[in-house]
Amino acid sequence: MRTPGTCGKIALLITEDWFALSHFRPLIGVLTEIAQEVVVVTRSSGRLKDIEALGVRTLEFDFRRRSNNQALTAQLAWALARLLQRERPDVVHLIAMKPIVLGGLALGFVRVPHVVVHVTGQGLAGIASAPLLRLYRFGMLRVLASLVAKPSSHLLVENPDDLALVRKLAPNLGARFAILGGAGVDPVAFPAQAAPEHAVPVAAHVGRMIKSKGIDLLMQAYERLSAEGVRLRLELFGSSDSENLEAVPPQEINDWCRRSGARWHGPVRDVAGVWKNADIFVLASRGGEGLPRALLEAAASARPLVVSDVPGNRHFVRDGIEGLLTPPGDVAAIAAALRRLAGDRALRLRMGDAARHRLLSGYTEAHVKAALLASYAALLGRDVEA
């Protein structure tokens, strides 16, 4: 075993400060154990001090998540290269596709001993049909492949589908990878919740209000159920994420809620509180997922899961056990799954219990931390403390 803090410096590149705080506190905790210094490079929404309270330094950098402009990408990559040249980290840890692309381009100008490529899903590029987005996806995958092809790199993914994709791009990957249980959920912070005693069951979506998450599909499914007289309430929790190219405008969501009777609560910090009052988790994602944290939080809370059959979702949810899988984009199937669970409390309880057990089998913070420590041990060629 080694003494903590002998790694030197790790630079963690992530698009948004709120994303680091909502999903990657366990990761940041592991990095502070491994390295003498951790610097988080991210865009500020006013929460940099909260990140610094975790024992790290922050540097503000706007990754321009909303833009795929090639000229701007080149400028940002050059600016990032200069930042890394000043910081001289021993490891650069790139989380999600935008930092992977910009970081990969920047590392063409500056040498860093080790790189961790942390794929949290392909995002919008993974389901792109527009020609420009398909071109961006091609470039994105080429940069990713060039990074993981280096023997000094290590790959982290959240589902086997993304691993299979990268293996095709970089056949020399070998054993330099790990499949994480998502970002990891603390089962104490998200305990199994007693099922609510609702006369009308509540289905809840927790996540960003964007089309890739299938918000528009969920709206259509709920309209069908309402027209049929199915007794079910729909509640939406999450921001409209204005930086996302597929954000659904807040006015559109509010207008629809007024017409349909659904409720949109906006951003929520007490997610565990959501599951005290909701019966069913629903995510109608079109794809591009890693392993949604909101799904894992609902599972930890012992709630049944209605999700689309896309990478990440299907890695956790086994159809008919932890919940119900629906074909991506299939409004009728989403409505049918919600109808089935709304009318069967015993099935909700059985699936919710199975979801909790599934979470405990490999998707907790402890599981993810152990996998991260093992990955860094392999990357650095030495033991780290578990």
Using CA atoms, how far apart are residues 20 and 42, in angstroms rounded to an integer?
A: 9
pLDDT of residue 242: 75
- Provide the pLDDT for residue 55: 97
What is the structure's pLDDT at 1? 38
Q: Residue 197: inside a domain, yes or no?
A: no
Together in a domain, 259 and 370: no
User: Does one domain contain both 107 and 178?
Assistant: yes
Cβ(122)–Cβ(162) below 8 Å: yes
3-state secondary structure (DSSP) of residue 299:
helix
pLDDT score recorded for residue 383: 47
Please tell me the predicted confidence (pLDDT) of residue 129: 60
Question: Do both 41 and 172 map to the same domain?
Answer: yes
Q: Is residue 157 a part of any domain in this protein?
A: yes
Contact 17, 45 (CB under 8 A): yes
Residue 88 region by backbone torsions, left for phi larger than 0, else alpha for psi between -120 and 50, else beta = left
pLDDT at 247: 85
Tell me, yes or no, whether 351 and 250 share the same domain. Answer: yes
Q: What parts of the chain have a pLDDT lower than 70?
A: 1-6, 65-68, 123-136, 382-386
- Quote the longest CA-to-CA distance of the chain: 63
| The predicted structure's pLDDT at residue 382 | 60
Quote the pLDDT of residue 138: 73
Inside any domain, residue 73: yes
Are 159 and 247 part of one and the same domain? no
Per the structure, the count of domains in the chain is 2
Q: Kindly state whether residues 143 and 234 are assigned to the same domain.
A: no
Q: How high is the pLDDT of residue 358?
A: 98
CB atoms within 10 A of CB 284: 28
30-34 — which CB contacts under 8 Å span 24+ positions?
30/369, 30/372, 30/373, 30/376, 31/56, 31/93, 32/56, 33/4, 33/5, 33/373, 33/384, 33/385, 34/4, 34/5, 34/7, 34/10, 34/373, 34/376, 34/384
State the virtual CA torsion across 287, 292, 296, 298 in degrees, nearest 10: -80
1 assigned to some structural domain = no
Based on the domain organization, do 136 and 177 belong to the same domain? yes
Q: Residue 128: what pLDDT?
A: 57
- Tokens 């990955």 correspond to 375
pTM value?
Answer: 0.91
pLDDT at 66: 63
CATH number at residue 212: 3.40.50.2000
pLDDT for 245: 76
Q: What pLDDT does residue 331 have?
A: 98
Residues 21 and 159 both lie in one domain: yes
Judge if 22 and 60 occupy the same domain: yes
Please report whether residue 385 resides in a domain.
no
Q: For position 229, what pLDDT does the model report? A: 97
Say if residue 38 is in the same domain as residue 59.
Answer: yes
Range of the domain at 301: 202-360
pLDDT at 381: 85
Which residues partner with 234 through β-bridges? 203
- Let me know whether 348 and 257 are in one domain: yes
Task: Tell me: do 272 and 287 sit in the same domain.
Answer: yes
